A and B are shown apart, each in its own frame.
Chain A
Amino acid sequence: MIAPKKPEIITFRIKRQDARDAQPYWEVFEVPYKPNLNVISCLQLIAENPVTREGRQSRPVVWDCSCLEEVCGACTMVINGRVRQSCSALVDQLLEEVGEGEITLEPMTKFPVVRDLWVDRQRMFDNLLRFKGWVPIDGTHDLGEGPKESPEEQELRYELSRCMTCGCCLEACPQFTLDNDFIGANTFGQVVYFNAHKTGRVLMNERLDALMEPGGIADCGNAQNCVKVCPKDVPLTIAIAKAGRQTTVHSIKRFFTGKR
């Protein structure tokens, strides 16, 4: 295969918004092409010299990022219309997507914009609090080992625990919107994760009660977009199915025993 000719200049069309309630607008920036650039390194180059294609002096683009190696979950944005991490969005691949066109960067649409490409994902962390996302240990004193676990059990928990709360699954979910109360795939995954631990299971009933509330597991439309966009291949649809089963069993038990 002959490698496609690389452009000398890469063009970024970036959706900007100066404050929470401000009107968004677009700006176009150009960055000289080099091999092995990612979106972050281009945003860094723009920050150093924030002049638009029209030659107008602008301000550095604001975006959220931390580790730059796709493990912290901070730098999610919508790139060429698809939600993903901007650190692992390689320019060479993006250019293949757009041909000779522009690479577009937009903030996620399911969370309130703070500024430019930075959105407020506090809702995801609030959900972890609401669903008691922890193992209720007795304290930090020396009380010996934790429960033994088979490699198979560990594997499922490990896969679920790689969720970095980036929000890609929620951006892609037709059920999850800016102003409804749907909980979303990542939290379903976390509920299953904690329910799968021998001590974590102590809080299972409380978690499942919460899953039965409005916005809970029953609202999942099973579109399965979440699992397709997850950058860490978290088995979200398996988790949703498990969470659904656990909730059904829980509600039947509750119906017959009257106990919560």
Chain B
Amino acid sequence: MAAEKPRALVVGGGLAGLAATIRIAETGTPVDLFSMVPVKRSHSVCAQGGINACNKVARQQGYSEWMHFDETLYGGDFLNHQPPVYDMAHWAPRIIDLLDRMGVPFNRTHEGERDLRMFGGSLFKRTHFAGATTGQQLLYALDEQVRRWEAEGLVRKFEFWEFLAPVLDDGGMCKGIIAQDMRTMEIRAFRGDATVLATGGNGLVYGKSTNSVICNGAAAIRAYAQGAWLGNPEFIQVHPTAIPGEDKCRLMSESARGEGGRVWVPRKKGDSRAPGDIPEGERSYFLEEKYPAYGNLVPRDIATREIFWKCLEGYGVAGGRMVYLDCTHLPDATKNKLAGIFEIYEKFTGDDPRKVAMKIFPAVHYTMGGLYTVYTPRSDYKGMEPGAPNNMMTNIPGLYAFGEVNYQYHGGTRLGANALLSCIFDGLFCGLSVANHIRDKAGKRAQELSAGLYEQGVRRQEDAVRQLIDAKGENNPYTIAREMGEVMTDRVTVVRDEEGLKLALNTIGSLRQRYQSMRISDTGTWTNQNLAFARALGDMLIYAEAIVIGATERRESRGSHFRSDHLERNDDKYLKTTIMKYDAANDRHTLEYEDVPTPLVKPRPRTYGKVEAA
């Protein structure tokens, strides 16, 4: 048999996974791409608003890549590592150009230039967009380029395959994965000389979120259980504007505010009039009143807390947990740019946002934390060494984390329209690092390793499946999942305190006990979603625990992590990355802190020009 070329494995087919696949394939390295859904259906499709980059117009108004870099740090409350963010901001215009060349139908001006819109956390128009479905358009463009590599024979797709575990060799280097076909339920080992996890966020830990049903964080925890570390798991973004629903909360994009949408509540508590019948003078545009400079476009954590508190004070719509997001006053041309999101709102609520103010409430949206990764900074800290094999590698050599599953870039809060950017940047910039690792650092080829290593990994997963199928306990996985979501949403989202976190930790602990005596109703061996859900639930419970422990120990308020019992940011103690390690054999988490270096921008108070109420 002819020696096979060394091969990279990419797990996850959203923007980060696809961008990585394209960049790695471009070096001539074959890629196996794994995804739980056809990659065109990945969660990146849900991103609506846009993608940030310095551009010709904003530049002439005084904007720059440096300012984009600085805004991202300010937004992130300075918890972000600066060299990777520096590169991301400086690569952003190039990434837009590349997407443009790939055929993304960006909105255009009369002269055929790419149109721009305002977005949170900036005073400049620097967000590029394709209608109100920018994520979908970007994902499709990358999907198309991957298809081209597939046609050329350099990419093999394994869709409807679920990642179960990394395979580590004797030296602890990642040399492949174990995965399961979700239809036939076959469990197989795949050899690979480097593996990229691009598996997204963990919204499902909170039950209802804006995330897709595949965003359960299980892949990250399966790496965590094998010794990969987590970084900043307590940082979870709650998006200010979502439509509450029975099965999920549907995002109402920040672009609604970027295009001029206004958030308000009636000045009178419990006012039950229709929004259109409440005169201007009897409305409180509370974000604009409190933050005159940024108005409705303050960062998400700030908007979320203000909305949350207004409702808590009893000013919510009809006294409930909703506020108005009003786009009825916008000109028709602007409304047309928002057609995609208006359509979603109308479809799911029956009301037309062109005519009636939308009713919205915050919902869990984005995982800033994730797998801990490293990189090689340039000597002046302005960026990373291009192609350094360890860029965005986890502490397990040969195992990378790109995109939302990577804890880098966003610090304490992510700015709107920076996610699409960070995912694509990770894949494009660090894809080269993966290829270089395979070429220079991977040592003995995965193809040459003993079959026993891989067979053992498969057996371990088969045993775990058998255990779940044979379990004759009394607990229902869906019930446990619902209770997990409820306690996480009640105690570990917008406002946190010691007591609530303690309660959450205890609840998760007892749910983990109940998890040990479960019974699943489908014990078959064909397309068993019940089994897959029950297995992922075990991982989600571990993730929930890590989030709560991180949130408990961080006794300060920073970005999305707001402690009502520790209101101030405390740089002396907590300008640090939370690193969590897991000892699977003894089921023990340990927490350490690592200083966040601030070589380029010194931390400053994060006020967004707030005006204190008299």
Contacts and interface: CB of A to CB of B under 8 A. Distances in A.
B144 A134 contact: yes
B94 interface: yes
B466 interface: no
Contact of A69 (B42, B105, B344, B482): B344
B40 A59 contact: no
B526 A125 contact: no
B26 interface: yes
A140 B428 contact: yes
Contacts of A148: 108, 111-113
B476 A67 contact: no
Given A19-B526, A44-B478, A67-B212, A140 B144 contact: no
A71 B23 CA distance: 26
A66 B212 contact: yes
Interface residues of B, number: 68
B41 interface: yes
Interface in A137-190: 137, 139-140, 142-146, 148-151, 153-154, 157-158, 161-162, 164-165
Contacts of A34: 246
A129 B151 contact: yes
A149 B108 contact: yes
Contacts, number: 188
A146 B128 CA distance: 14
A241 interface: no
Taking each of B98, B100, B147, which has the highest tally of chain A beta carbons within 10 Å of its own beta carbon? B98
B468 interface: no
Contacts of B522: 59-60
A18 B212 contact: no
- Main DSSP-derived SS at the A contact region: loop
Contact of B245 (A19, A36, A139): A36
B213 A65 contact: yes
A244 B110 CA distance: 30
Given A48-B479, A146-B103, A68 B113 contact: no
Interface in B88-144: 94, 97-103, 105-113, 130-131, 133, 136-137, 140-141, 144
A44 B204 CA distance: 14
A128 B147 contact: yes
Contact of A146 (B26, B101, B144, B350): B101
B246 A158 contact: no
Contacts of A44: 247, 478
Contact of A134 (B100, B145, B250): B145
Contact of A140 (B26, B112, B136, B350): B26
B105 A161 contact: yes
B514 interface: no
Given A73-B41, A134-B145, A146-B100, 20 more contacts: A34-B246, A48-B478, A50-B521, A66-B41, A67-B45, A71-B46, A74-B38, A128-B147, A142-B94, A144-B97, A145-B101, A146-B97, A148-B108, A150-B108, A151-B107, A151-B109, A154-B107, A162-B133, A165-B40, A165-B41
9 contacts: A60-B529, A114-B527, A118-B527, A136-B148, A142-B94, A145-B100, A146-B102, A165-B38, A194-B103
Interface of B: 22-23, 26, 37-38, 40-43, 45-46, 94, 97-103, 105-113, 130-131, 133, 136-137, 140-141, 144-145, 147-148, 150-151, 183, 212-214, 245-248, 250-251, 340, 344, 347-348, 350, 428, 476, 478-479, 482, 521-522, 524, 526-527, 529-530
Q: Which 5 A-B pairs have the closest CB atoms?
A: A146-B100, A148-B112, A48-B478, A134-B144, A41-B247
